[in-house]
C-alpha cells in the first residue's frame, strides 16, 4: 500500500503496521517500545473480543484514560472496524462524563484503573460493557442475546464517522464534534507536507490524547511517518518531564502556551533579573537578544538537545514569551485551528515564524474574512476545508448556526490578514465588548498588555456595569522570593534594623495593592481610550481552565 491509498483510519493502520513493521512505535518513557508489527497484532487480539462484547459497526464506544500506549491500541481497534470512538478528557467532571456518555449513547467504555471510581454511581443506561484499559478484560458486561450481534463486516469509508470529540470549551457546554475518517486522514497528510516527519523521529507526548491537537498531530501523524512516541506515567511536572526529556531526547514535542510561559517566567526571566549587570543589559535591545539567545541555548539543551519542532497551539502565546523564543532562535512553531477542523488551519514553521502571527493558511484550506472592518481589517474567519467536521452530534440547530449553505464554517475567531497572507488572531467574536460609543473592544489584546507587567501570571478582562475590570492572578510565589531575598540582605548587613524592615513591609499583600495601582496606570498608558480599565481585582487562586489551558471565561463574566 502507498500513501495515496490511505483514505481511512483502517487504511492508515494497515499502512503503518506493514510499512514500518520493525520500527519502534510507542511505550512509557522507562519501557521498551513495541514494534509497529507487534502493535498490529495487539489490535487484532483486541478486535477478536468485540463479538463477545457485542460491538458492531457504527456503535459508539468511549475511551477514558490518561495518556498510555494502550490508547492507540483501543483507538485503532475500534476505528478500523467502523466503531465510533468517544474520547473523554481525564479532567472532565463526573457530571460531564455522565452527560457525554448518555448524549453519545456510548455502548461500552474502556477505562483505566486510575479513573474507574469516577464512574461509580453514575446513571449510564446505554453502557453495556466496561473494559479495563490496562489489560482489556471486561470487568462488567451485561449479557445480551447472541443474535443481537449484527456486525455485517462493513469496512469504513472516508465519509463515515470516526470519532465524536466533546469539547470542554471556554463557553461552558460541551458539544460533540463529529470527525470522519476522511477528516483525520486528510489532516495528517496536509500537516506532513509542511513539516515532514521521519521514521527516525521521536515524540514525547504530554498533552491529553482525547484533545484533537494531540490526537491528530501527536498520535496519528507520527504513526503515519513510522516515528516513535513516548508517554509519561505521571503528570508532566518539571520533576517528571525534564529527566524524561534527557533520557528520550525527543525531536518533536507539542505544547500549549502555559507550559513555555511558566518556564520563561519561573526560570529564565528571574535568572536574568537576579544580577545587576544582566538586569540592565536586558533593557537594551541588543543586550536582550544576546541574553535570550544564551537562555534559549540552555533551554534547548535542558529539553534533550535534539528538538527540531516544538509546536505551540491551543491558545494564544504571550508576546513577551514569543519574543524570547524568536530572538533566542528556539525551534518553535505556531499553529492555529479548532476541534471542528481536526484541528489545524494555519501554521508558521521554521523561517515562516513571526511573532504574534498564526502563520499562513494550509494548502487545502479556504479562508474568508467575513464582515471585515474597513478601518482595522478585522473580521470573523470563515473556512472551508476537507478536514471540516460533519457537524455537532445530535445538535442540528447548533450545527446550522455555524455552517452556511455554501459549506463555510463560522469559526467565531476574529482575524486580520496582511497583504502577504500572514494571519493575526485578534480574539473571539463572542468575547468582544461593545464600548459606550459603539466601539469594538478586544479583551484579549488588553490582556496581552497586562500579562507583560511585572509579577502578572495571567489575566482576564471583563465588563462590569459598563466598565472594564481586569481580573489578575499575580505571581505571589515570585513576590515572596523577592521579599525573602531583600530580608536576607537586610539581615546580613543591617541586622539591628530587622524590626524596621518588618514594619516597613507588610509583605506580599501590601505589595499587591501597590501593584494594582501601578498596573492600572501601566495598561491605560498603552491602550486606546475606550480600552482603558477602571479597576484591577487580584485573585488569590488560579483561573479555572480547559484541557488546553485556556481560561473558562464563562465562569467569570
Domain 3-195 belongs in CATH node 3.40.50.12780? yes
Average pLDDT over residues 339-360: 95
What pLDDT score does 119 carry? 95
pTM here is 0.85
* Interval 88-147: pLDDT, tens: 999 888 988 999 999 999 999 999 999 999 999 999 999 999 999 999 998 887 765 444
The separation between CA 466 and the C-alpha centre of its own chain, rounded to angstroms, equals 33
Rounded CA-CA distance 392/540 in Å is: 37
Instruction: Tell me which range, 312-316, 388-392, 488-492, is most confidently predicted by mean pLDDT.
Output: 388-392
Asked whether the predicted pLDDT for residue 544 surpasses 70, the reply is yes
Distance CA 238, CA 110 (A): 30
Assess contact for 32 and 78: CB atoms under 8 A.
Answer: no
Give the pLDDT confidence of 525-543 residue by residue, as tens digits.
Answer: 888 787 899 999 999 888 8
pLDDT, tens only, 116-125: 999 999 999 9
Largest CA distance in the chain: 89
Higher per-residue confidence, 96 vs 506: 96
Q: What is the CATH number of domain 222-386+405-431?
A: 3.40.50.12780
- Domain 222-386+405-431 in the same topology as domain 3-195: yes
Report CA 84 to chain centroid distance, whole Å.
23
- 126 secondary structure, DSSP code: T
**Gyration radius (Cα) of the chain, Å:** 25
CATH number of the domain at 434-555, please?
Answer: 3.30.300.30
CB of 551 closer than 8 Å to CB of 458:
yes
> What H or E segment, with its residue span, contains residue 50?
helix 50-53
pLDDT > 90 fraction of the chain, expressed in percent and rounded: 68
pLDDT of residue 505 exceeding 60: no
Q: Domain map of the chain by residue range? A: 3-195, 222-386+405-431, 434-555
78: which residues sit within 8 A by CB, 6+ positions away? 55, 61, 84, 85
> Cell match 479555572: residue?
544
Amino acid at each position: 500500500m502507498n500513501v495515496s491509498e490511505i483514505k481511512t483510519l483502517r487504511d492508515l493502520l494497515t499502512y503503518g503496521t506493514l510499512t514500518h513493521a520493525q520500527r519502534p512505535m510507542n511505550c512509557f518513557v522507562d519501557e521498551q517500545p513495541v514494534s509497529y508489527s507487534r502493535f498490529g497484532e495487539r489490535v487484532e487480539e483486541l478486535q477478536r473480543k468485540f463479538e463477545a462484547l457485542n460491538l458492531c459497526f457504527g456503535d459508539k464506544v468511549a475511551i477514558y484514560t490518561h495518556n498510555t500506549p494502550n490508547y492507540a491500541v483501543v483507538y485503532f481497534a475500534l476505528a478500523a472496524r467502523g466503531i465510533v470512538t468517544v474520547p473523554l478528557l481525564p479532567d472532565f467532571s463526573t457530571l460531564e462524563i455522565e452527560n457525554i456518555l448518555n448524549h453519545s449513547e456510548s455502548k461500552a467504555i474502556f477505562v483505566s484503573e486510575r479513573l474507574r471510581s469516577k464512574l461509580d454511581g453514575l446513571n449510564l443506561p446505554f453502557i453495556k460493557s466496561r473494559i479495563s484499559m490496562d489489560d482489556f478484560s471486561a470487568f462488567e458486561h451485561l449479557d445480551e442475546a447472541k443474535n443481537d450481534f449484527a456486525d455485517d463486516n462493513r469496512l469504513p469509508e472516508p465519509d463515515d464517522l470516526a470519532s465524536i470529540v466533546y469539547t470542554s470549551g471556554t463557553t461552558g457546554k460541551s458539544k460533540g464534534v463529529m470527525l470522519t475518517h476522511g477528516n483525520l486522514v486528510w489532516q495528517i497528510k496536509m500537516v506532513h507536507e509542511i513539516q515532514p516527519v521521519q521514521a527516525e523521529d521521536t515524540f514525547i507526548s504530554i498533552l491529553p490524547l482525547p484533545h484533537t491537537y494531540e490526537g491528530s498531530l501527536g498520535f496519528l501523524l507520527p504513526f503515519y511517518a513510522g516515528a516513535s512516541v513516548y508517554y509519561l506515567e505521571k503528570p508532566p511536572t518539571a520533576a517528571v518531564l525534564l529527566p524524561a526529556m534527557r533520557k528520550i531526547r525527543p525531536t518533536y514535542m507539542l505544547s500549549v502556551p502555559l507550559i513555555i510561559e511558566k518556564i520563561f517566567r519561573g526560570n529564565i526571566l528571574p535568572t536574568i533579573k537576579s544580577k545587576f549587570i544582566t538586569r540592565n543589559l536586558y533593557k537594551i535591545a541588543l543586550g536582550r537578544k544576546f541574553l535570550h539567545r544564551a537562555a534559549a541555548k540552555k533551554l534547548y539543551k535542558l529539553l534533550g538537545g535534539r528538538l527540531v519542532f516544538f509546536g505551540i497551539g491551543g491558545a494564544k502565546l504571550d508576546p513577551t514569551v514569543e519574543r524570547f523564543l524568536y530572538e533566542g532562535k528556539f525551534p518553535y512553531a505556531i499553529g492555529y485551528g479548532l476541534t471542528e477542523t481536526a484541528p489545524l488551519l494555519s501554521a508558521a514553521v521554521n523561517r515562516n515564524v513571526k511573532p504574534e502571527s498564526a502563520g499562513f493558511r494550509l494548502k487545502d484550506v479556504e479562508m474568508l474574512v467575513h464582515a471585515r472592518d474597513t478601518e482595522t481589517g478585522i473580521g470573523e474567519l470563515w473556512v472551508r476545508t476537507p478536514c471540516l467536521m460533519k457537524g455537532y452530534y445530535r445538535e442540528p440547530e447548533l450545527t446550522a448556526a455555524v455552517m452556511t449553505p455554501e459549506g463555510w464554517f463560522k469559526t467565531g475567531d476574529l482575524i486580520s490578514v496582511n497583504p502577504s497572507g500572514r494571519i493575526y488572531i485578534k480574539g473571539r467574536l463572542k468575547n468582544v465588548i461593545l464600548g459606550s460609543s459603539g466601539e469594538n473592544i478586544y479583551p484579549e489584546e488588553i490582556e496581552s498588555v497586562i500579562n507583560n507587567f511585572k509579577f502578572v501570571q495571567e489575566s482576564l478582562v471583563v465588563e462590569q456595569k459598563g466598565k472594564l475590570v481586569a481580573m489578575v492572578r499575580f505571581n505571589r510565589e515570585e513576590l515572596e522570593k523577592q521579599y525573602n531575598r531583600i530580608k536576607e540582605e537586610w539581615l546580613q548587613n543591617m541586622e539591628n534594623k530587622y524590626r524596621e524592615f518588618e514594619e516597613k513591609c507588610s509583605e506580599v499583600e501590601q505589595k499587591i495593592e501597590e501593584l494594582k495601582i501601578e498596573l492600572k496606570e501601566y495598561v491605560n498608558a498603552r491602550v486606546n481610550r475606550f480600552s482603558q480599565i477602571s479597576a484591577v481585582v487580584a485573585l488569590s487562586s488560579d483561573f479555572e481552565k480547559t484541557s488546553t489551558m485556556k481560561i473558562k471565561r464563562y465562569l467569570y463574566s
